[in-house]
Amino acid sequence: MSRPCDARVEVTPRIGDIAPQAWDACANPDPATYNPFLAHAFLKALEDAGTVGGRSGWLPQHLALKIGGEATLAACAPCYVKSHSQGEYVFDRGWAEAYERAGGSYYPKLQIAVPFTPVPGRRLLARPGPDADANAMLLATAAVELVGRNDLSGLHLTFLTQAEWLRLGDKGFLKRTDQQFHWHNAGYATFDEFLASLASRKRKAVRKEREQACGSGLEITRLAGADITEASWDALFTFYMQTGSRKWGRPYLNRKFFSLLGQAMGERCLIVMVKRASRPIAGALHLIGGDCLYGRYWGAIEHHPCLHFEACYYQAIEFAIERKLARVEAGAQGEHKLARGYLPTSTYSAHFIADPGLRRAIADYLKRERAYVDAAGKELAEYAPFRKGPLSNRT
């Protein structure tokens, strides 16, 4: 792709060196579809807390496209040089091992992504206008050039939009798919109206789970904005560490990050806090977007039946209905979400692999993987809990 003579792409190792207003004008130009994970404040909190940069294996190399003498930011992308494949949720460790067995070096690689966050959204953040698509592709071209200049193994854009995925596929990027489970709001006025859309057996199961979750004298409250205190973050971090240590071995985020997040984006945070005898024993963190509630972290220091479903799924659905949000995205994986009204939804990633031999091998693998993911999604959709008939069409 030819580049306009007055266009240049700069590589910036600190997002703090980019003006927040300029970044956000590209990342979140429409409040109705605001994605908190693309916001300057969120990415800066990751850096200021030290969760990326340093020896984390996530070296910021953000891309900024500037056009014209006034150097207006036309597009940008959250970009990192990676020395491992942790915290990505699009698993390529098998590719790395195969390449290393063949004598290649898969790391370092270049990643356009939101660290530790499997939330779909735009990744090539072009300011709206007639040249937006072209400017987004200029960023991708510059990123490929960066791969070549620095002898990196490839470029990976993860959890991008389908439109970006298709455009990059046309440019020769390898296309990968996966699935998450999202809840879609069919204009429900209340949670009971949502329940009415479920088949009778599923409706009874949800009610039973909610009754069990609220038993044992538990108190469930929602905290947002000024209601979230440092004590709230202390409790949530304890829960986060408990889950992270059990599932991942080493959690990615530190305590400082949560305080910075609350300071910068407190109005976008929602904590579902669970207490027993006034003591916090479990909690879930969600981030509030323009049209979506994003479920992020959950943990508990006591086990109570169905409490996870209540704090993470049912409370999120209630909140989305109250706020008239279009959907709830409850994170990666989890076929158990299906029975609770969350339907299989495709996610997308695009990959440029520098080595021709590795590229051919991965392309063949991805062709088969895409077919499998598509078939699995269609099969899972058959088990959706919704009633057959007019109400089912609302989902």
Q: 56 and 153: one domain?
A: yes
* Residue that the structure tokens 């300057």 belong to: 40
Number of independent structural domains in the chain: 2
User: Of 295, 325, 355, which residue constitutes the final position of a domain?
Assistant: 325
**What secondary structure letter does DSSP report for 182?**
E
Say which CATH number the domain at 20 has: 3.40.630.30
Distances (CA, A) of 369 to 80, 89, 93, 210, 362: 26, 16, 15, 37, 10
Mean pLDDT within 376-385:
91
Query: From residue 227, how far is each of 100, 264, 271 by CA, in Å?
Result: 50, 15, 10
Q: Does the structure show a pLDDT above 50 at 5?
A: yes
Angstrom distance (rounded) from CA 163 to CA 348: 10
Confidence band for 160, pLDDT divided at 50, 70 and 90? very high
pLDDT band at 12 (very low <50, low <70, confident <90, very high): very high
Q: Is residue 2 part of a domain?
A: no
Q: Would you state the pLDDT for residue 387?
A: 85
Task: Kindly state whether residue 275 falls inside one of the protein's structural domains.
Answer: yes
Same domain, 22 and 170: yes
Span 253-272, pLDDT tens digits = 999 999 999 999 999 999 99
Distance (Å, whole) CA 65 – CA 134: 11
Q: Does residue 222 share a domain with residue 82?
A: no
Range of the domain at 130: 7-179+345-381
What DSSP state is assigned to residue 32? G
Supply the pLDDT for residue 363: 98
Per-residue DSSP letter, 60: E
User: CA 129, 130, 131, 137 torsion: positive or negative?
Assistant: positive
